[in-house]
Amino acid sequence: MTLLADPDSETQRRPPAARRGRWVLRALTGQRAGLAVVVVVLIIVFGTLRPAFYDSRLVVFPLLRDIATLTVVGLAQLAVLSIGHMNLAVGRMAAFGALVSGFSYQVLGLNLVLGLVLGLVAGAAVGALAGLIITGTGVNSFVVTLGLDFALLGLVTLVYGQFTTLAAFTVKPPGMEELRSYSMADLCVGDVCGSPAVPQLLLFTVVALAGVGYLFARARTGREMLLTGSNATAAELSGIPTKRRVIGAHTLSGLLSGLAGFMLAVTAGSFTAGIGSAFLIPSFLGPVLGGTALTGGAVSVIGTFMGISLTQVIQQGLSMLGVGLESLNIYLGLILLVALSAVRIRQLFTRRRRSS
C-alpha cells in the first residue's frame, strides 16, 4: 500500500506538498515492485545454487520467523519516521518490554497472553515518555531517544541484576514453546492444513502490518501524522494537534518495539537483557529499502516487510553458500549499497521517462 496524504482532494489548489506527493506516490510504487523483483530473483538465484534453500522446515520456516520479528521492528521505526522523527531506542524499548513480560511470567506467574499485554503496555509507556519529552522540551528526537537508550540500558541491567542470577528470565509460560515451533501446518481445517513453512509467529506480524497499514491508509489520525511529517508548521496551522500526533507516533513505536521484544524472546527461548541489541540497523534498513522517507511524510508498510525480507534473504543466502565471516559483512554491505543505488537508478529512469 502506498500511503500518503490523499493528493486528490488537493488537486484544485495543488500546493507544493501534494505535487511532491504525487511524484513520491509513483516512485514508491515503482520502488516496491522493483524490490519484489529483486527478492524473487535472489531467491531463485540462491535456490538454484543451493537447492536446500527451499527446504521448508530447515530454511524457510526459521527465515520467515526472523522476518516476522524484524518486520515488527521495522514497523516500530516506521511509526516515528512517518512524522519525520527517529527512534534510536527501539532495541532497548524491546528489551524493556521483554523484561516486563519475562518478569510477569517468572515473578508474577501470569499466563502467556497477560504477560504479552503487560509487555506491550510497558513498551507503549516508554514510547509515550519519549514523545512527551520531545514535545515538552522541543529537543530533537535523535537526542531524546539516544539519552533514553542509555537510561533504559542502565535500568534493564539493574532490574535483571536485582531479580535474577543469570541476567535472564527463563520461566516459560504454557504456550510459549508451542508458539515458537508451531507452523501453519498445525492449524487445520478438516484434513487440509496450512504450510509447514509459515510460522504461527507470522500471524503477529500480519496483524501488525494490517493495523499500521489501516492507520496510515484510512484513519484520520494516520493521515494527520503523515502531514505532520511532511510539514509540521503547515500541519499545525491546519489545525492538526501535532503534539498529540507526535506522542501517538512514539507510543506506537514503543508498543511495536515491545511486541518485537516478546517475539524475539519466544523465538530465542528466554527473556534476556541482550534482546534488541541487534534491532537498530534492521529498523532503519527495512523501511528505507521499502521506500519510507527518512524525512517524514511518506511511509510504505508493505515495503518495510519487503525490505526486511530482502536483507534476511541475502543473509540466509550468503550463509547457505558457505560464505565465512571474512567475507560475509563485506558482501552484505556491498549488496546493500547496490540495492540502495538501484533505487536511485530506477528513480532516474522514471524521471527521464516522464520528462521525455
Among 110, 114, 132, 315, which residue sits at the site for other proteins (rule: CB under 8 A)? 315
Residue closer to other proteins (CB basis): 56 or 221: 56
As measured in angstroms, the least distance from the Cβ of 164 to other proteins is 9
Among 38, 120, 247, 264, which residue sits at the site for other proteins (rule: CB under 8 A)? 264
Please give the Cα distance from 290 to 305 (Å, whole number). Answer: 8
Phi-psi region of 338 (alpha: psi -120 to 50; beta: other; left: phi over 0): alpha
Count each helix (H run) and each strand (E run) in the chain, helices first: 13, 6
Q: Are 92 and 152 in contact (CB under 8 A)?
A: yes
Q: Which long-range contacts (CB under 8 A, 24 or more apart) does 13-17 make?
A: 17/230, 17/231, 17/234, 17/297
As measured in angstroms, the least distance from the Cβ of 226 to other proteins is 15
Please give the Cα distance from 331 to 314 (Å, whole number). Answer: 9
Q: Are 256 and 208 in contact (CB under 8 A)?
A: yes
**Rg for the chain (alpha carbons), in Å?**
21
Count other C-beta atoms under 10 Å from residue 94's C-beta. Answer: 33
As measured in angstroms, the least distance from the Cβ of 257 to other proteins is 16
For the segment 207-226, give every residue that binds other proteins (CB under 8 A): 217
Residue closer to other proteins (CB basis): 29 or 117: 29
As measured in angstroms, the least distance from the Cβ of 194 to other proteins is 7
As measured in angstroms, the least distance from the Cβ of 83 to other proteins is 16
Phi, psi for 26 (deg, rounded to 5): -65, -40
Please give the Cα distance from 276 to 146 (Å, whole number). Answer: 15
Residue closer to other proteins (CB basis): 7 or 241: 7
Cell triple for 327: 567475507
Among 48, 220, 239, 324, which residue sits at the site for other proteins (rule: CB under 8 A)? 324
Q: By CB under 8 A, is residue 277 in contact with other proteins?
A: yes
Cell triple for 77: 521505526
Instruction: For residue 97, give the nearest of 138, 129, 71, 125 by alpha carbon.
Output: 125
Q: By CB under 8 A, is residue 201 in contact with other proteins?
A: no
Residue type, 178: E
The 44-83 site mask, x for binding other proteins (CB under 8 A), equals ------x-xx-xxxxxx-xxx-x--x--------------
For the segment 153-172, give every residue that binds other proteins (CB under 8 A): 153-158, 160-161, 165-168, 170
Please give the Cα distance from 170 to 102 (Å, whole number). Answer: 8
As measured in angstroms, the least distance from the Cβ of 121 to other proteins is 23
Among 326, 354, 355, 356, which residue sits at the site for other proteins (rule: CB under 8 A)? 326
As measured in angstroms, the least distance from the Cβ of 217 to other proteins is 8
For the segment 86-105, give every residue that binds other proteins (CB under 8 A): none
Residue closer to other proteins (CB basis): 48 or 192: 192
Q: By CB under 8 A, is residue 327 in contact with other proteins?
A: yes
Residue closer to other proteins (CB basis): 308 or 343: 343
